Each structure stands twice: as structure tokens, then as C-alpha cells.
Amino acid sequence: MASMPSSSTPPPLRWVPAFLLMVIIFFISSLPGNRLPFFGAWDLYIKKGGHALGFGLLGLAYYYALPQRLSVGYQWVLAFMMAILFALSDEFHQSFVEGRTSSLIDVVIDGVGAAVALTLGAFYSLNSNSKSIS
């Protein structure tokens, strides 16, 4: 996300980044196992890192789409819960894709990525000079 939403951004448009990330995650999860790239010795780290990064970005997209009038803590919890729910639905969806499996470990990794990104985003929000209210 290049810039934070301002009070001039219509609330429905604030959801566009989250929607796009959900589409991208769904598309990647729809790829059969034999169509996924293999990264050699780094494969596990890159793929699990991708989980954390993707859901970190999704958590931030949810956080910044939520009304800014909510407390930072409430936004954090709500965005985190939304990211976890999407992670669970993503793993369920993946269980139907040929050559793929679902894993609660992946949901944990997704949750850690979302929690770290949301904590950084909340810290930024609390320390920002921005006065945008919506």
C-alpha cells in the first residue's frame, strides 16, 4: 500500500486493497501442487515466508479499511480476526485443490504474519502526525 487512506477516500474504496489481496491469495491457493515453483533448499522458507507476508499485508489492508473512528486496539483485533478467518477459509479451499493440502500450521504462520504487521501498523498509527478521521 503506497499511501494511507485519508478522510477524503470514500469508505468503500478503502476495501479495494483487501479485496485484491484476497483475490491474489485465492488464485495462488487454487494452483495445483505441480504448478507451484520449487525453490530448492529455500523452498520451505520462501513458501512459509510468503504466507506470513501475504497475510501480514492482508491484515494491514483490513486495518486501514476499517473506520478510523474505531480505537486502534479495536481495529487491530478486528483486522486480526478477519485475517485468521480468511486464513482458515483459504486452507479449507486449498484442501480441495489437487496436489495441495490444508494445514493449521499455515494458519498459525498466517496469524503471526498478520499480528506482526498489525502491530507495526498500529504503532505507526499511534505515532503518526496525521489527523485524518473518518
Q: Residue 22 falls within a domain, yes or no?
A: no
Q: How many domains does the chain have?
A: 1
Evaluate whether residue 35 is within a structural domain: no
The answer to whether residue 52 is domain-embedded is: yes
* pLDDT tens digits along 60-106: 999 999 998 999 999 999 999 999 999 999 999 999 999 999 999 99
Q: What is the pLDDT of residue 68?
A: 86
Answer whether residue 34 is part of any domain.
no
Q: What does the alpha-carbon distance between residue 114 and residue 111 come to, in Å, rounded to a whole number?
A: 5
In tens, the pLDDT along 36-57 reads: 999 999 999 999 999 999 999 9
Tell me, yes or no, whether 10 lies in a domain.
no
82: containing domain: 42-127
Q: Which has the higher per-residue pLDDT, 13 or 6? A: 13
pLDDT at 7: 58
Q: What is the pLDDT of residue 128?
A: 73
pTM: 0.88
13-16 CB contacts, 8 Å cutoff, 24+ apart: 14/64, 14/65, 15/65
Identify whether 2 is part of a domain.
Answer: no
Domain assignment present for residue 89? The answer is: yes
